[in-house]
Chain A
Amino acid sequence: MKALRLHRAFEAIWGAPKGWRGTFSSVNHSTLGIRLMVTAFGFFLIGGILAMLIRAQLATPHSAFVGPEAYAQFFTMHGSIMMFLFAIPMFEGFAIYMLPKMLGTRDFAFPRLTAYGWWCYLFGGSMLLFAMLAGVAPDAGWFMYTPLSSKPYSPGINSDFWLLGITFVEISAIVTAVDIVVTILKMRAPGMSLDKMPLFAWYMLVTTMMMLVGFPPLILGSILLELERAFGWPFFDAARGGDSLLWQHLFWLFGHPEVYIIFLPAAGAVSMILPVMARTRILGYGWIVGAVIALGVLSFGLWVHHMFTVGIPHMALAFFSAASTLVAIPTGVQIFAWIGTLWAGRPQMKMPMLYLIGFFIVFVMGGLTGVMVAVVPFDWQAHDSAFVTAHLHYVLFGGFVFPMLAAAYYWLAHFTGRQYQYRLGTAAFWLILVGFNLTFLQMHIVGLLGQARRIETYPAGIGWTAYNLVSSIGGFILAFGIGLFLIDILLQFFHAPKSRRNPWGAGTLEWAMLIPSTSYNIASIPHVDDREPVHDQPDLALSLARGEGYLAEPRNGWRETLAVKTSSGKIDHIIVLPGNTTLPVWTAVVTGGFFVLMLLKLYWLTLLPLLGLVVMAWRWAAELGRKEDVGALSVGHGLSLVTHAEVQDPPGWWGSIFLLTADGTFFASLLFGYAFLWTVAPAWPPPHLFDAGIADLAAALAGAALAAFGARSALRRLRRGSTGGGALAIAGLTIMLLALCAAVLRAPPPTEHAYNAVLAVLIAYAVFHVAIALLMQVFVLLRARAGFLSPQRSAELRIAQLWADYGVGSGLIVLFAIHVPALIA
């Protein structure tokens, strides 16, 4: 009876209102995770239909099915949808739904950000879908190479849809990555040290760190290209000092890690499912963790292998060829660990296992062709041919879709609460496996016979016809398989009998709860001593439901969960999460307003949504906080802890650290672009250098020193009990802002030369960050005066200090980067 009472009490706190109000205001991770997965699957079906149209066109020579214009939109949208609107959101949705359950916590670190990410994804994806329905979809290929995607060669709005829509979706990816990484590091069940985390959490930790470092170069590239298209700033125009290769560098700095960003979460799912299917524990946990970290870092040294044919010196080619072959080793370590686990256990051929076998076959073949194209002379032959299309599909379909299908069957009971029935899934598997290989296996051969990727037709009598016809037939068989899978899953939802709580006999925490899961996941939080706690305590689910863990008593209607020390997993403090709110959807609407106005070329009006975002962000922060110290509260088992408002490093501080990591990568990519153009691009050095002003530089230095000192002094004074805030920091940042504005006035016109354009972006970056830092200092000053800060409640000041330091640091680097060449000259 106690379990039922707790269930009702927690449901009242963590649940969402019924109807539309709940739809717009829910910030619950399970709801949002499912929404993301369902939407991503919808995009997968749309991308799949586009693939069928592509195969219909290529089935026969001289096909009159569609013209080249429509075909270019098909393949561009197929690639873009599958990469940006299916694969990334699908694993994000899965992680959002599953990670807190695996980690033994009740929600994500930033529930409002989770909701904001979902709305941004929905709106950004809808923009691209609208473009497709309106017949103005992007058509320059999913990697949007300049100059093809530049204004002279793509004058329509098509490319703008891609640049703005994808950037909108990337905002979602970045905030979700911050959300996930802080959750993994800080919100595990007590006792769950890093070496006791489920492997999926390790995979997601590495993946999200990769996202924070990998996505900013693409966001930067998209912004630069949109600036070039909208205002004529020539970053990629060789005639005015730009270089189209800069786009390729920025794109593939994102694009290659992206392959691993997609593969790793799927591999994480494999590492969770496979030992359960083999009825044993995973072999080589530590080896796998090392391999995943190695894969994550090494994958950033591969991007130039997409550019082997652009005319780069042999030494540079060899650097990237070496790194590309090296990355096969950590991948191999994982595969051997999985094979070893199967060897050590007693595998059972259930549905998830079937798809895992499909994954092994297809992914290993894709990996081997990957090593082939990593070798420069082979790549020169195969580059831009159908061989590469085949390779990437073996890697991505094999490395992502097969494991995700296995995951769908493995965790199905978690979503439906029903046990798997019927045998349609087996037929679907065989159709998918056979269909996939029929589509792509001989594409390797026809590629080596000379068929280029992305061609819309080909002549008869050159030996390609049979290969293409078989490919097209295979593509349709694959589509039937996916259709059958969908029917099978829907049948489980509506017709299968109820499942028992842990149908596979798994050992991880996501199975220690009611299925389908409740809004709060667990009525009490366990103490974990093992990687597979459910194996150690088979009745753990009941014990937690009865409230025998931590935080078992609902309090003040608060959404409480626990924070732990990053590495050791020792219990640290209570986190009180924000409840349901419509703020995320409204913030996403305002963000969307900016992108829509950019699309409509109403550039001056974009200032309105930017101002709106400032208001929203202010409100976002102002909604939280308290005016009194609460002190230590009981969490059960004789322990009392303070809430996150009264610790030095609450989740908001950690979130800022990781958001600034992504921001720093963006800035570093911009500086790389500046250095790249200066050393490699034609028409450099520029005709006119920046008119350096020593007085501005001196003023900025003084302002920076004042801001850094002021922010620290405010924190010191707060710790001594004075709540005066950082007036000095505000003065310092204002001086810096004025110095940067003086630089804006002296900067040469950005349309003249790429140097001028880069200078304009650098100064804009610095102005933006110093302005954010200034706004935050004003915010904490007002909060201090309103009584929201105390010696215990100092975190807001610490967060503002982080941003002030970043604003000051990046502002100084920008000022030096623009002044030093001019002063030397």
Chain B
Amino acid sequence: MTALLRAVSGLIVWAVAFSALYGLQGLGCALGWDAMMVGPIQLGRAALIALWLAFVAVQAWMIWHFSHHTHGSMFLNRLAVAIAVIGWVATIYTGVPVVTTSMCF
């Protein structure tokens, strides 16, 4: 069972990242972080970018880790790497709005 959970963990981390970004965006808007500035950018946007990049980094590490450490059958190992790559791409793609769109309008 742990081998199966490991195999799907790349996308589970994406789900966590996606929920966290959506939640932080809502919270940031509710707390007025769009009006506070950290240097040239809004506090809310800075927090979102930091969170996004943190998840991208964690998922990049997962790809490396699953590629170099095997657990269970070859099929599940390959699946773990493939799902980790899918999750990483999904986090990058679905997180792009943190740098391209308005935060609270």
Contacts A300-B15, A322-B94, A323-B94 given: A313-B75 contact, CB under 8 Å?
no
- The smallest beta-carbon distance between A4 and chain B, in angstroms, is 40
The answer to whether B90 and A298 have CB atoms under 8 Å apart is: yes
Q: Mark A296-310, 1 if CB is under 8 A from B, else 0.
A: 011011000000000
One of B73, B78, B103 near A313 (C-beta < 8 A): B103
Q: Which of A30-48 contact B (CB under 8 A)?
A: none
Please, which residues of chain B bring their CB within 8 A of the CB of A289? 79
What bracket does the count of chain A residues touching chain B fall in? Answer: 20 to 34
The answer to whether B11 and A293 have CB atoms under 8 Å apart is: yes
Contacts A290-B83, A301-B18 given: A316-B26 contact, CB under 8 Å?
yes
- The smallest beta-carbon distance between B42 and chain A, in angstroms, is 11
Say whether A294 faces chain B, with CB atoms less than 8 Å apart: yes
Q: Which of B1-58 contact A (CB under 8 A)?
A: 1, 3-4, 7-8, 11-12, 14-15, 18, 21-23, 25-27, 29-30, 48
Please, which residues of chain A bring their CB within 8 A of the CB of B27? 679
The answer to whether A316 and B22 have CB atoms under 8 Å apart is: yes
B30 to chain A: closest residue by CB: A679
Please, which residues of chain B bring their CB within 8 A of the CB of A315? 25, 48, 97-98, 101-104
- The smallest beta-carbon distance between B51 and chain A, in angstroms, is 13
Say whether A194 faces chain B, with CB atoms less than 8 Å apart: yes
Q: Which of A540-589 contact B (CB under 8 A)?
A: 566-568
Query: A323–B95 Cα gap in the complex (Å)?
Result: 9
The answer to whether B94 and A319 have CB atoms under 8 Å apart is: yes
Query: A411–B60 Cα gap in the complex (Å)?
Result: 44
Please, which residues of chain B bring their CB within 8 A of the CB of A297? 8, 11-12, 14-15
Say whether A318 faces chain B, with CB atoms less than 8 Å apart: yes
The answer to whether A286 and B79 have CB atoms under 8 Å apart is: yes
Query: A319–B96 Cα gap in the complex (Å)?
Result: 8
Q: Which of B64-102 contact A (CB under 8 A)?
A: 72-73, 75-76, 78-79, 82-83, 86, 90, 93-98, 100-102
What bracket does the count of chain B residues touching chain A fall in? Answer: 35 or more
Say whether A193 faces chain B, with CB atoms less than 8 Å apart: yes
B78 to chain A: closest residue by CB: A286
The answer to whether A326 and B90 have CB atoms under 8 Å apart is: yes
Contacts A290-B82, A326-B94, A679-B26 given: A318-B100 contact, CB under 8 Å?
yes
Query: A313–B45 Cα gap in the complex (Å)?
Result: 13
Please, which residues of chain B bring their CB within 8 A of the CB of A330? 86
Contacts A297-B14, A326-B90, A567-B1 given: A680-B72 contact, CB under 8 Å?
no
Please, which residues of chain B bring their CB within 8 A of the CB of A316? 22, 25-26
The answer to whether A193 and B75 have CB atoms under 8 Å apart is: yes
- The smallest beta-carbon distance between B81 and chain A, in angstroms, is 10
Tell me the number of A-to-B contacts counted with CB atoms below 8 Å. Answer: 102
Please, which residues of chain B bring their CB within 8 A of the CB of A314? 97, 101-102, 105
Say whether A185 faces chain B, with CB atoms less than 8 Å apart: yes
Contacts A319-B94, A322-B96 given: A313-B72 contact, CB under 8 Å?
no
Please, which residues of chain A bring their CB within 8 A of the CB of B75? 193-195, 286
- The smallest beta-carbon distance between A667 and chain B, in angstroms, is 15
The answer to whether B73 and A193 have CB atoms under 8 Å apart is: yes
Query: A313–B7 Cα gap in the complex (Å)?
Result: 34
Please, which residues of chain B bring their CB within 8 A of the CB of A680? 26, 30
Please, which residues of chain B bring their CB within 8 A of the CB of A679? 26-27, 30
- The smallest beta-carbon distance between B14 and chain A, in angstroms, is 7
A186 to chain B: closest residue by CB: B1
The answer to whether B21 and A319 have CB atoms under 8 Å apart is: yes
Please, which residues of chain A bring their CB within 8 A of the CB of B98? 315
- The smallest beta-carbon distance between B64 and chain A, in angstroms, is 19
Q: Which of A193, A566, A567 lies at the interface centre, i.e. has the most chain B CB atoms within 10 A of its CB?
A: A567
Query: A314–B97 Cα gap in the complex (Å)?
Result: 9
- The smallest beta-carbon distance between A133 and chain B, in angstroms, is 43
Please, which residues of chain B bring their CB within 8 A of the CB of A323? 18, 90, 94
Please, which residues of chain A bring their CB within 8 A of the CB of B79? 286, 289-290, 293
A294 to chain B: closest residue by CB: B86
The answer to whether B104 and A313 have CB atoms under 8 Å apart is: yes
Q: Which of A314-335 contact B (CB under 8 A)?
A: 314-319, 322-323, 326, 330
Contacts A290-B83, A297-B14, A297-B15 given: A567-B78 contact, CB under 8 Å?
no
B13 to chain A: closest residue by CB: A297
Contacts A294-B86, A313-B104, A315-B98 given: A185-B15 contact, CB under 8 Å?
no
Query: A316–B26 Cα gap in the complex (Å)?
Result: 8
Query: A326–B8 Cα gap in the complex (Å)?
Result: 18
The answer to whether B22 and A319 have CB atoms under 8 Å apart is: yes
Please, which residues of chain B bring their CB within 8 A of the CB of A566? 1, 4
Query: A293–B103 Cα gap in the complex (Å)?
Result: 31
- The smallest beta-carbon distance between A322 and chain B, in angstroms, is 4
Please, which residues of chain B bring their CB within 8 A of the CB of A676? 26
Query: A314–B76 Cα gap in the complex (Å)?
Result: 38
- The smallest beta-carbon distance between B102 and chain A, in angstroms, is 5
Please, which residues of chain A bring their CB within 8 A of the CB of B18? 301, 319, 323
B44 to chain A: closest residue by CB: A315
Please, which residues of chain A bring their CB within 8 A of the CB of B11? 293-294, 297-298
The answer to whether A318 and B101 have CB atoms under 8 Å apart is: yes
B1 to chain A: closest residue by CB: A566
Query: A217–B30 Cα gap in the complex (Å)?
Result: 24
A205 to chain B: closest residue by CB: B4
Contacts A195-B75, A568-B73, A679-B27 given: A322-B93 contact, CB under 8 Å?
yes
- Beyond A286-B75, A298-B90, A316-B22, 9 extra complex contacts between A and B, CB < 8 Å: A313-B102, A313-B103, A314-B102, A315-B103, A316-B25, A318-B100, A319-B25, A566-B1, A567-B73
8 tightest A-B contacts by CB?
Answer: A318-B97, A195-B75, A297-B11, A679-B30, A314-B101, A322-B94, A566-B1, A315-B101
Question: 10 A–B contact pairs at CB < 8 A?
Answer: A293-B8, A297-B14, A298-B90, A315-B97, A316-B22, A318-B100, A319-B94, A322-B93, A323-B18, A566-B4
